[in-house]
Amino acid sequence: MKEQGQSPDGAEPRTGSNGCEEFVQAERRRWMAAVDQRLLGGAMRSIAKRGGTAGSAALAASVPKVAFANGGAPTRDILVFVMLRGGMDGLSLCVPHGDPDYAWQRGNLAVPGPGQLDGVTDLDGFFGLSQAASALLPAYQEGDLAFIHNAGSTDPTRSHFDQMKFIEGGVPNQGATVVTSGWLGRHLASTAAVDPAASLRGVAIDYTSPLTLAGGPKTLSIPKLPQFKFGGYAHTVSDRKALLGGMYDRETSALRSSAQSTLATIDVLGTIDFLNYAPSGGAVYPVTEFGDRFKKAAALIKADVGVEAIEIDRARWDHHDDMGPINGRLAIMLEELSQTLAAFRTDLGALMGNVTVVALSEFGRRVDANGADGTDHGRGGCMLVMGGNVNGGQVIHDWVGLDPLMLDDLALPVRVDYRDILIEILTERLGNAGAAALFPNHSTFTDWNIVR
Amino acid sequence: MTTSESPSVDGTNGPGPDVSAADVTCSHPSSPSVAQPTRRTVLLGGAALAAAAGSAGTAAASVGTGTVAAPQGQAPGLASRSAWILGRASYGVTPEMIQDLNARGIQDWLDWQLVPDSIDDSDLAVHLTPFDWIDQSVVEMWNHPTKSGRVIGYEARALRLIRATHSKRQLFERIVEFWTDHFNVYGSADDLWLLKIVDDREVVRQHAFGKFRDLLQASAKSPGMLEYLDNATNVVGAPQENYAREVLELHTLGVDGPYTEADVRELARCFTGWTYWRFIESPTQYGEFRYRPDRHDTGAKSVLGIDIPAGGDLSDAETVLDHLANHPSTIDFVTTKLAKWLLGYEPPAAAVDAAKATWVATDGDIRKIVRTLLSPRFLQQTAPWREPKLKRPLHWVASLHRTTGITMGDPVGAVLSLASLGHTSFDWHAPNGYPDIEEAWSSLLIWRWNYAASFSQGLEVTLNHTITDLRALLGTVPMTGWAAHLSQLMTGGTMSREDVSDIQAYLDGIGVPSDEAVAEAFELVASSPSFGRY
């Protein structure tokens, strides 16, 4: 395990009042030792992997890596980012069945262990994959998918909207009230386009525009890619586009750049036959809005028009009430999420070698169930990273156990900083040597060796 | 923030400027120069509007091209350089509104709008006949002989658009939209289809111009809110905090307000037992508020420094809500948000401060707070060419329909059009309401442009008008004056001079006043950035 004080930004679980500090620290050390014992199968393996790859120094705080893994030309993956809005319960997805403090706190919301009815599929002896998410097993077993547990933002807020703002803006723990650009937008702004002729570098397949992409050049939100066509009389299209371009060029701010990107992108997307797109490899996407958006994203990637970043959000994870992690509401959503990601991977096939998918939520949920068969807002959650160059087949974490004493005010503490995961991916897979600077005032970097 | 250098417009309490004074001081640097029409042309313009409006039905189907003639070269509608003020308090400036403004003066017009019950809205009534459930309880709607809850829900979304389009109580409807987002209740699921309709009527519309405290208390007891934010299942022993958190974060103190996680949990305890009657519990009381003492935590609580003694009941949370309603952080948070709604994304601090002072002085009287924000001084400082706002889709569609007088043939279908623009009422799932920042909507231009094109060609499936009806709105204005005429008709002349001149140059290139030219004239005005602004 990492030593105390090396967690992201030094953020520690709450220690209560000062008078209790020493007692709590002692208790923590005791539990850390116990947890180490419990986790010989899980955590130790991932730690060994970290140590083995990056050297022992990587266990301590280190500076961002700038060299590319193979010393060759920068790899420029397409990043598909999924914001799971509402607070996805990571404990019901990647279930810590080996933690003795899981089941009793979750009560009838606990997902059963391996071998039991509706039980999880064991992943590493400690964590197991929910049956609802079993579509993700092949990706995990074939090494393309990693789960990252007790991950998230180090900011303590349990507000959906503040935490989303901090995560998407890349500015946790900074008390920022106004955030105008996102980490992914800044990434696009700070790197040269992969395809200099591209008219669209970043796209959110959605109506409203996520903060993550804000500030990025040549970015748009497009809810329906097949219908992105210019109406009106066909023979005057170019004249009317020119007129609109002139009028909107006089605008300042977001309206102008959106109009420019829109006008430049119409013809590009018009060449792609989204409606007749046939997925490869027998991939079957769920017939839902989310599934369909991934299907459209696959078509867009295969069309190779220079898009570098795609955001597809899925909301409604805020299960305060009637959560249903086994066969209820949450299970249905986990099923959709996993079947979608699995279909996308199958569909892209070898192209996954140049695609990285990252999914995360603004926070996980409290360990204890509330009185409405739901769970309230927590802290640490579970990220998913999938791609052909992901060091998959493992659950990465820095587990301290679910004993209430070890929790962050009744929730899983955040001990893997989502920024570190993103920095590594942006550096290694998206060719941004300055990725760390996309997250201002984030000085301590931990290398989790998530991608090759 | 740009501030006006003109000191000539009085503040809230003094005698307001008449329109001509405002004209002098607020001249739009790029407003088009159009001939000053006469009152007579207004009436003719009104007749043309009626022709178009009626065309969706039956009455004016016989009114075709040239039947209604405006004097050549003159725009319908009295030119008023203060028309943009109307834009800040409505869903789009019509010639009729400019008449009202010119008749009353700006101060009186605002005061008039602030007492919606005094405004004759009989013209709206003819549009309301399909909505036979409009005053019904949840039980009555549940038992509707022909309409399912979902159908009634769709109709309720259409009703929002119809009211925005046709009601003369325009400022009231704008404020209703504000509170609809502030106290957001997602209405497209299960019981919420009907519960939101009652929430809209008895919470939002009932209290939109009332006291904030009453609005807050009503919202807290609204079965729609109780279901949506899960307080209906908040029980003693294992409270759940969803509503308690959002009422602090989103409805009152704001996320930066002075509360802690402990306050959230203690407030959740106060709200235990607040629920509503489910159908299965009582088919006759279904959808009504219910307080269940057996589910209430009667222990002592401490919220925000207020000690709630043991043995309490419904009053536990009511006490806290009263405290929250006029808390300085609430006043700051809500007033600032309201100022952004009315005056621009960056409202002047002086306006916010004045409105906060009004809140304190009037015990949170929303009508008076709005009146303070809409004082001509602040309006002038935040005129659209200084603090431009982007119309959200509901606003934009309503603008297009109301300024052309188009009536929806199929209101429910029109809701689907709004869905394609990303802005169906009661359909925002997260508790923070639809965003009101430009960045959230600016990506969706192409859907507006395409709606403008199909609207203008008479192809929008939910609308019954034709290009001939639109041509009637041009009267006998020569083609060389169409852009300026439509700026006057559709924005009260507030489009930028450059946009008008660019569109006119395009039309000049067509040269022939064909149906296609008519359609493109309307399309391009509706697609222009200055029609999209307010």
CA B371 – CA B312 distance, rounded (Å): 39
Mutation for testing the B interface, residue in A105, A203, A255 having most B CBs under 10 Å? A255
What is the rounded end-to-end Cα distance, in angstroms, of chain A?
A: 22
pLDDT, block means (10 residues), chain B with 534 residues: 32 31 34 35 34 33 30 41 90 94 93 97 93 97 96 95 97 98 96 97 98 98 97 94 97 97 97 97 97 98 98 98 98 98 97 98 98 95 92 97 90 83 95 95 96 95 92 97 97 95 98 98 98 96
Window A:403-442, CB contacts with B under 8 Å: 409
Q: Which residues of A touch B442 (CB under 8 A)?
A: 209, 253-255, 257-259
Confidence (pLDDT) at A210 = 95
In a domain, A204, yes or no: yes
In a domain, A2, yes or no: no
Confidence (pLDDT) at B51 = 36
Task: Name the stretches of chain A with pLDDT < 70.
Answer: 1-75
Which one of A85, A159, A208 has the shortest CB-CB distance to B255? A159
Domain of A251 in residue numbering reads as: 8-438
Confidence (pLDDT) at A75 = 54
Name the minimum distance, in Å, from the CA of B422 to any CA of chain A: 6
Residue type present at position A408 = D
As for the ipTM of the complex, it is 0.85
* Separation of CA A442 from chain center: 18
Q: Do B430 and A85 touch (CB under 8 A)?
A: yes
Window A:135-194, CB contacts with B under 8 Å: 157-162, 177, 180
Give me the number of domains chain A comprises. 1
CA B334 – CA B258 distance, rounded (Å): 15
Taking alpha carbons only, the member of A205, A225, A151, A129 closest to residue A412 is A151
Q: Which helix (H) or strand (E) holds B532?
A: helix B529-532
Q: Do A209 and B442 touch (CB under 8 A)?
A: yes
Q: How many CB pairs under 8 A join A and B?
A: 156
Mutation for testing the B interface, residue in A155, A162, A241, A321 having most B CBs under 10 Å? A321
In a domain, A190, yes or no: yes
Confidence (pLDDT) at A285 = 98
Window A:82-111, CB contacts with B under 8 Å: 85-86
Q: Which residues of B touch A244 (CB under 8 A)?
A: 449, 524, 527-528
Q: Do A376 and B503 touch (CB under 8 A)?
A: no
Confidence (pLDDT) at B80 = 57
Q: Write down the pTM of the prediction.
A: 0.84
In a domain, A379, yes or no: yes
Q: Do B499 and A247 touch (CB under 8 A)?
A: yes
In a domain, A41, yes or no: yes
Mutation for testing the A interface, residue in B443, B450, B527 having most A CBs under 10 Å? B443
Confidence (pLDDT) at B92 = 97
| Secondary structure in 3-state letters for chain A | CCCCCCCHHHCCCCCCCHHHHHHHHHHHHHHHHHHHHHCCCCHHHHHHHHHHHHCHHHHCCECCCCCCCCCCCCCCCEEEEEEECCCCCHHHHEECCCCCCCHHHHHHHCCCCCCCCCCCEECCCCCEECHHHHHHHHHHHCCCEEEEEEEECCCCCCCHHHHHHHHHHCCCCCCCCCCCCCHHHHHHHHCCCCCCCCCCCEEECCCCCCHHHCCCCCEEECCCHHHCCCCCCHHHHHHHHHHHHHHHHCCCHHHHHHHHHHHHHHHHHHCCCCCCCCCCCCCCCCCCHHHHHHHHHHHHHHHCCCCCEEECCECCCCCCCCCCCCCCHHHHHHHHHHHHHHHHHHHHHHHHHHEEEEEEECCCECCCCCCCCCCCECCCEEEEEEECCECCCEEECCCCCCCHHHCECCECCCCEEHHHHHHHHHHHCCCCCCHHHHCCCCCCECCCCCEC
Name the minimum distance, in Å, from the CA of B11 to any CA of chain A: 30
In a domain, A445, yes or no: no
In a domain, A135, yes or no: yes
In a domain, A210, yes or no: yes
Residue B511: Cβ-neighbour burial (10 angstroms; 0-12, 13-18, 19+): exposed
